[in-house]
Chain A
């Protein structure tokens, strides 16, 4: 009977205690696993979201986080200048504003965006038709004739997200009247749009209502004079060229602008916004590990102390010190291994539930995930459990190794 089988039989001898131990490890293991997924989850998820948009560079007027700083002026000229850079394939100017939809006595706040797109779009069409390509509106300075994405029936085209379509009962072909709310003193008349299609925006929040049209129609709806402005330029580097090379080219051509690659943006988030989550996950993971360690140490110590007579008898029969110590280590490995395995589905289920909870928080994109399963998290999890298993077994192993056989046999008889 090898030490593994011996340890298995030993644990089966006290099923209640073994199940409790495994359950305890499963609970702490699940939390540990979640904390490891959280430690890099936001970063990985943000990387996936940014790269999924199809643009690998963001250009703003200042070094502030994109869409939080002042707008880029002379947008059309800037777009034309950047589009002329050989390393760049596509430039999409984006403007962010607000609008209100009035239906009866109810009003709905809408995130209202404008973009002049050519071949790439920072959204995914799920139903209907996309915005009409209008090269003039991207490359040329906007004219005031309103010749943007206009439909045959004279209405400007607009795309809405699923939330908005469901909430306002919109479909491709519906009409939608928006009242601009881009500035505090906006008093322009409402503009009616033709809903071309329903789209998904990667950074939409769970309950966010979002609509997008051309820059010109955003300006018309908002009633502002700053028609040649954009809050951000989304840039796609040419295939074969690295985004870093494209960013360097932008910095050379327009040093007054701030251009960042997705990687740089993620690194910036990692250093500032996401660092709190990483710190929280490190602290909680450490506490969790400590409790797991205590739990296993206590279980193994109690179990070992109850078996001292048995261990002394086996030692008297000729079982080596190494063999008896390895038995303790195997018991620890079995408890931690079984608990650690149970913890994986438990941790995954818990992370899904927590993710859903966190995704409904205001200001958090619905597609952003806090807990992301990646091989790295799994490897660290296994390594940490292995260390816990070994460290937790140190004291009971030491007890067994130093057990005075003769004195123990005597005290067992007296006891």
Chain B
């Protein structure tokens, strides 16, 4: 198992009183999983994803990453873990505007001290995978939204993560471009990377093998792909 959450909760202290974003969630992500976390805005999807991605720590409960409890690990160790094993795709892409597509993809590899030759080969491979070889030397401002998200996916895959986390990856895209991005995630999954996608788009959620439906910080139910289809979500 890549990630295992054991009864995790997340409480944010607020001026008006503590707000519980995630309540007693237990789940596991296997290497071949393609999981969608689906639910309305503010139900705690992103918070759960950030905890699963070792960006945040649970207030209570335990989070095991490859069998190791990461809840109490120092920030530097969790950073190294994210760099080497987890890829992130964000709704707003967050590509570095001063770098080209190539450089954006190369950046996490440079941070992980991958040798330059290996880095170049991997970057070329990834840009080809996302179909942007011809846009390699364009800056984000010269790319469309879909292209930027494809570069962001390539960047997330740069260090060959075991887990790819995507937070509303189609939230800023039109339907057709969103479909293309969803297809790209399918291909990433087929290549053997576990994926967790946070979305409130049922179309995207329906492509996953498992869908965790969240409401008020809890996982209300878990549906398999078959159930999702029968639930009326188009595949």
Contact = CB atoms under 8 A, between A and B. Distances in A.
Interface string A301-331: 0000000011011111111111100000000
Contact of A309 (B53, B88, B94, B108): B94
Interface in B88-111: 88, 90-92, 94, 96-99, 103, 106-108, 110-111
Name which of A309, A312, A315 has the most chain B CB atoms within 10 A of its CB.
A315
A10 B55 CA distance: 24
Nearest to A412: B92
Interface in B45-95: 46-47, 50, 53, 55-56, 75-76, 79-84, 86-88, 90-92, 94
A318 B79 contact: yes
B76 A321 contact: yes
A406 B56 contact: yes
B94 A313 contact: yes
B99 A315 contact: no
B50 A409 contact: yes
Given A1-B110, A406-B55, A409-B50, A317 B155 contact: yes
A405 B98 contact: no
B108 A13 contact: no
B75 A321 contact: yes
B46 A318 contact: no
A410 interface: yes
Contacts of A410: 46-47
Contacts of A413: 46, 90-92, 167-168, 171
A405 B88 CA distance: 13
B107 to A, nearest CB: 6
B143 interface: no
A296 to B, nearest CB: 20
Interface string A1-38: 10000000110110000000000000000000000000
A405 B107 contact: no
Contacts of A315: 55, 79
Contact of B83 (A313, A318, A409): A318
Contacts of A318: 79-84, 86, 108, 111-112, 159
Contacts of A317: 82-83, 87-88, 108, 111, 155-156
B88 A320 contact: no
Interface residues of B, number: 38
Contacts of B112: 318
A271 B155 CA distance: 66
Contact of A320 (B56, B76, B155, B167): B76
Q: How large is the interface on A (under 10, 10 to 19, 20 to 34, 35 or more residues)?
A: 20 to 34
Name which of A10, A317, A413 has the most chain B CB atoms within 10 A of its CB.
A317
B46 A409 contact: yes
A322 B94 contact: no
A409 B167 contact: yes
A319 B50 contact: no
Nearest to B107: A1
Contact of B99 (A9, A309, A312): A9
Interface in B145-196: 155-156, 159, 167-168, 171
Contact of B111 (A9, A313, A319): A319
A74 to B, nearest CB: 82
Interface string B107-119: 1101110000000
Interface string A92-109: 000000000000000000
A296 B50 CA distance: 34
A315 B86 CA distance: 12
Nearest to A323: B111
B76 A322 contact: yes
Nearest to A318: B83
B108 A409 contact: no
A386 to B, nearest CB: 26
Nearest to B103: A1
Contact of A405 (B50, B76, B84): B50
Interface in A194-234: none
Contacts of A12: 98
Interface string B37-50: 00000000011001
Interface in A389-415: 405-406, 409-410, 412-413
A303 B24 CA distance: 39
A310 B108 CA distance: 14
A322 B75 CA distance: 10
A310 B91 contact: no
A313 B93 CA distance: 9
Nearest to B57: A406
Given A316-B50, A316-B82, A406-B50, 13 more contacts: A9-B98, A310-B94, A312-B94, A316-B53, A317-B82, A318-B80, A319-B83, A320-B76, A320-B79, A405-B50, A406-B55, A413-B46, A413-B90
Please list the 7 inter-chain residue pairs (A to B) with the smallest Cβ-Cβ separation, ordered nearest first: A318-B83, A313-B94, A318-B82, A13-B98, A406-B56, A406-B50, A9-B98
Interface of A: 1, 9-10, 12-13, 309-310, 312-323, 405-406, 409-410, 412-413
20 contacts: A1-B107, A1-B110, A9-B98, A314-B94, A314-B96, A315-B79, A316-B82, A316-B90, A317-B82, A317-B83, A317-B88, A318-B79, A318-B83, A318-B108, A319-B83, A405-B55, A406-B47, A406-B56, A409-B46, A413-B167
Interface of B: 46-47, 50, 53, 55-56, 75-76, 79-84, 86-88, 90-92, 94, 96-99, 103, 106-108, 110-112, 155-156, 159, 167-168, 171
